[in-house]
Amino acid sequence: MSSEIAIAVRDVSKVYHIYERPQDRLKQMLWRGRRKFHDDFWALQGIDFEVEKGETVGIVGRNGSGKSTLLQIICGTLTPTTGTVERKGRISALLELGSGFNPEFSGRENVYLNGSILGLSRAEVDERFDRIAAFADIGQFIDSPVKHYSSGMFARLAFSVAVHVDPEILIVDEILAVGDAAFQRRCMSKFYEIRESGCTILFVSHDQYQVKSVCQRAVYLERGMQKMFGPAGRVIDAYMVDMEAVEAARLPPVTKPVEALVAEPVATGDVPLEEPAVEPALAPPSQILFPYLIESVRMSAADGRDVDEVATGDELILTMRYRAITPTPPDRISFVFNLYRHDGFYVCGTTTLMDGMAPHPGTRNGEVSVRFPSFPLLSGRYKWRVAINDHGGFSVLAEAKEVCPFSVVDNFDAVGIVNLAREWQFSIG
C-alpha cells in the first residue's frame, strides 16, 4: 500500500448465514459443508476503494445498504468473508458511543479503560485526562458509576474519550449530534480541529449538505454493493436522483381527464392571496440554545422600499440583522438563505461558504444582505429561511423560518417555477 494511502479496502464482501431453525445451525456443523441448511445474506459484495491520508470521505446509502457493516470491518470489529482491509495509523471510531464502558466502573475508571482499548498507555491517559473531563463537562459525577449517568452524560464522556486519543483515522457513524445544542457545537469544533490536523476521516450521513460540505470524495452503497465512488458532489447528486425515483415509485399514480391534460392551468398567480400570511418565526430573546439571535429580516426593492410583491426579473435584496446573546460568540461564522414555495417545496438555497467566501468574523452584532439582480421566479407565493452557521457550515447558530412571505407576478413569458435565460435558433432543411 502506498505511503499516501491511509485505508485500502480490497474487494471486501461479508456474508451472514440465515438459519430458519436453531437446530439447522447444529446440522450445518455436523454435515461440514456437504449440505446447506441456511440461506446466505450478502451484507457487502465487492467493495473496493482507497482513502488518502488527510482525506475526508463520506459513505452514503439507504438504510440496510451496508454502511455500518463496512465501518465495522474497517475498524476491525468485524471480519470480512472475502477481501482485505489495510489501515495505516491509530483508529478512533464513533460508532456506538460507550460500547467499551463498564457500567459498574466510575467515569474516571472508564476513561482509563476505554483509553487503553483505543491504544493509549496509562501515562498518555494521565496527560489527557483533564482535557477529557473538561470537554465532557460532567463535573463531580466523573467519580460516580456510569450506570447512574443520564444518556446525555454517558454520550458526552464516551465522545470526549474517543476524540482525545489523537487519532490518525477517525470513523464517524452519524453521531456528532450528541448532547444538548451547546455540546453539539463543541463536538463540531473538535471535529473541525481533528480534520484540520490532517486526520483521515470516514463519515456516514444521510444529510446530503453535510457530505458535500465536509467530504472530498464519497462512496455510494446500494444493497451491499458499491454503486459509485468519486467526488462527493457527483456521488451525492446520483444518490439523490435515485432516492427521488424511489419516492416517486411509492406514490400512487395521478389520473386526470383528457381535458385537464390539454388545458393544464398555468402559473399566473391564481393561488388565493387572501390566505393568512405566514408569521415570521424569529427566535424569541429567551431562546438560549443558539449563541446568536436574528432580530429582523426584510426584503426590499432596488430603491430600498420594503416589498411583499415583486415582478419576475426585478432586483431584490434580502437583509437580516443579528446579535450575539452569549458572552463569547464563535470566532467565525457563515450565512445561509433558503427559498421555499408557499407549500414547502424547496426552490433554492446556498451559503456564503458555498459561494466561495471565507468565514465571517463572529462579531457581536451585524447585518448581512444578499442581492438578486434579476429575480428569475415566475408567478406564485414564496417564503424565506435565513440562518447563521458555524465556520464549517455544519452547525446552526441561529435561524429564522418562514420569514418575508411574498408574491411574484409575471408577464406570461413562461410557465412553471423559474424563467430560464434562453436563446432560440432556427435552421431550414
pLDDT tens per residue across all 429 residues of the chain: 667 899 999 999 999 988 888 888 888 888 777 788 778 889 999 999 999 999 999 999 988 899 989 999 998 889 999 999 999 988 888 776 666 788 899 999 989 988 888 788 899 999 999 999 998 888 889 999 988 888 788 888 888 888 888 889 998 886 565 666 777 778 888 888 888 889 999 988 887 888 888 889 999 999 999 999 999 989 999 998 888 887 777 766 555 444 443 334 334 344 333 433 444 444 444 444 788 999 999 999 999 999 999 999 999 999 999 999 988 888 999 999 999 999 999 999 999 998 989 999 999 999 999 999 999 999 999 999 999 998 888 888 999 999 999 999 998 888 999 999 889 999 987
Residue 425 belongs to a domain: no
Which residue, 182, 211, 241, sits at the end of a domain?
241
Residues 196, 318: one domain? no
Residue 426 belongs to a domain: no
Give 111's Cβ-side CA count (13 Å radius).
Answer: 30
Residues 220, 362: one domain? no
pTM (2 d.p.):
0.73
Residues 17, 121: one domain? yes
> What's the rounded Cα separation, in Å, for the pair 394 and 269?
36
Which residue, 212, 241, 270, sits at the end of a domain?
241
Grid coordinates given for 378: 415566475
Domain with residue 114: its CATH number is 3.40.50.300
Q: What's the number of domains the chain is made of?
A: 2
Residue 259 belongs to a domain: no
Residue 26 belongs to a domain: yes
Residues 377, 301: one domain? yes
Residues 36, 124: one domain? yes
Residue 187 belongs to a domain: yes
Backbone angles phi, psi at 152, to 5 degrees: -65, -45
**pLDDT at position 163, please?**
85
**pLDDT at position 429, please?**
72
- Which residue segment(s) compose the domain that 35 sits in? 5-241
**pLDDT at position 383, please?**
95
Residues 226, 316: one domain? no
Residues 174, 77: one domain? yes
Residues 156, 228: one domain? yes
Residue 324 belongs to a domain: yes
Residue 420 belongs to a domain: no
Domain with residue 355: its CATH number is 2.70.50.60
**pLDDT at position 76, please?**
87
- 156, containing H or E segment: helix 151-163
Residues 208, 319: one domain? no
Residue 298 belongs to a domain: yes
> What's the rounded Cα separation, in Å, for the pair 401 and 403?
6
Residues 301, 378: one domain? yes
Residues 328, 395: one domain? yes
Q: How many other β-carbons are positioned within 10 Å of the β-carbon of residue 184?
A: 17
CA–CA distance from 261 to each of 249, 254, 258, 265 (Å)?
21, 11, 5, 9
